[in-house]
């Protein structure tokens, strides 16, 4: 009888270990719980982060401004974070490797318009960057509101904090030229709240704010 109990416990332990290993090795189990809306948003955010990176790379080549080079590196990290989620949920990656090309036609048109604007002058290039970050902020807030997935929310919240940093960086560059920045897509109250928030690093508040930091 004792040997039988030991045998049963051994079988139970093996089965439990097998189930745990299978769950850890099968991200498609989680993907089944992702709604159509969450899937669309995730793939959109992947391309929207690519748009930001591509515009900043192009404008940096044109104007050689550190703000574009610094933030382009950050946007690449954001692209990678979205790709990690896409792979975790076994979703097809919409991002086209070529800089300046997009599967989403709306993002393609937006990219082309921003590049045309940024080519006019370095000031317009800063405004184009600020416009990207304002739009990003609004889209990320909607993305956070639509999902209850902890991993999606955490990633979107990290991107939201970074977009605030980037917006502050572009506004500093604009105001350094003696201009007063006015919101392009956000409300005046929302913009002021963001500009008065300290720079966020890895989800934690730090030094910076409207008059400091590098906006990364």
Separation of alpha carbons 137 and 165, rounded Å: 11
Which two tokens mark 145? 């509101």
Q: What is the pLDDT of residues 174-196, one digit of tens each?
A: 999 999 999 999 999 999 999 99
Residue 197 has a CB neighbour count (10 Å cut-off) of 17
Q: Which residues sit opposite 175 in a β-bridge? A: none
Compare 15 and 38 and report the one with higher pLDDT. Answer: 38
**What backbone torsions phi and psi does residue 26 show, to the nearest 5 degrees?**
-125, 80
pLDDT band at 200 (very low <50, low <70, confident <90, very high): confident
Q: Which residues contact 44 (CB under 8 A, 6 or more apart)?
A: 104, 107, 139
pLDDT at 6 over 50: no
Compare 46 and 27 and report the one with higher pLDDT. Answer: 46
What's the pLDDT score for residue 26?
44
Name which of 91, 103, 92 is nearest 51 in CA terms: 103
C-alpha separations of 115 from 109, 110, 190, 216 in Å: 10, 9, 26, 21
Section 110-124 average pLDDT: 98
**What backbone torsions phi and psi does residue 134 show, to the nearest 5 degrees?**
-65, -45
What's the pLDDT score for residue 77?
97
The count of C-alpha atoms lying within 13 angstroms of the C-alpha of 198, restricted to the half-sphere facing its C-beta, is 8
Separation of alpha carbons 193 and 168, rounded Å: 11
140-143 own/partner pairs: CB under 8 Å, 24+ apart: 140/45, 142/41, 143/41, 143/45
What's the pLDDT score for residue 161?
97
What's the pLDDT score for residue 146?
96
Kindly state the percentage of the chain with pLDDT values over 70. Answer: 78
Separation of alpha carbons 78 and 200, rounded Å: 15
């Amino acid at each position: 009888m004792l040997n039988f109990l030991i045998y049963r416990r051994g079988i139970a332990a093996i089965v439990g270990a097998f189930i745990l290993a299978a769950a850890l090795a099968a991200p498609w189990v989680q993907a089944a719980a992702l709604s159509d809306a969450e899937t669309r948003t995730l793939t959109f955010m992947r391309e929207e982060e690519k748009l930001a990176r591509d515009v900043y790379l192009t404008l940096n080549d044109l104007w050689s401004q550190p703000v574009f080079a610094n933030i382009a590196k950050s946007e690449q990290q954001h692209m990678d974070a979205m790709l990690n989620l896409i792979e975790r949920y076994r979703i097809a990656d919409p991002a086209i490797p070529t800089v300046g090309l997009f599967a989403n036609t709306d993002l393609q048109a937006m990219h082309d318009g921003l590049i045309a604007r940024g080519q006019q002058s370095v000031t317009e290039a800063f405004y184009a960057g600020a416009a990207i970050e304002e739009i990003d902020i609004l889209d990320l807030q909607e993305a956070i509101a639509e999902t209850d997935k902890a991993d999606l929310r955490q990633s979107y919240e990290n991107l939201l904090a970074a977009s605030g940093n980037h917006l502050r960086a572009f506004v500093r560059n604009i105001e350094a030229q003696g201009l007063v920045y006015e919101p392009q897509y956000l409300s005046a109250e929302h913009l002021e709240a963001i500009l008065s928030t300290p720079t966020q690093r890895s989800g934690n508040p730090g030094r910076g704010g409207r008059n400091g930091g590098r906006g990364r």
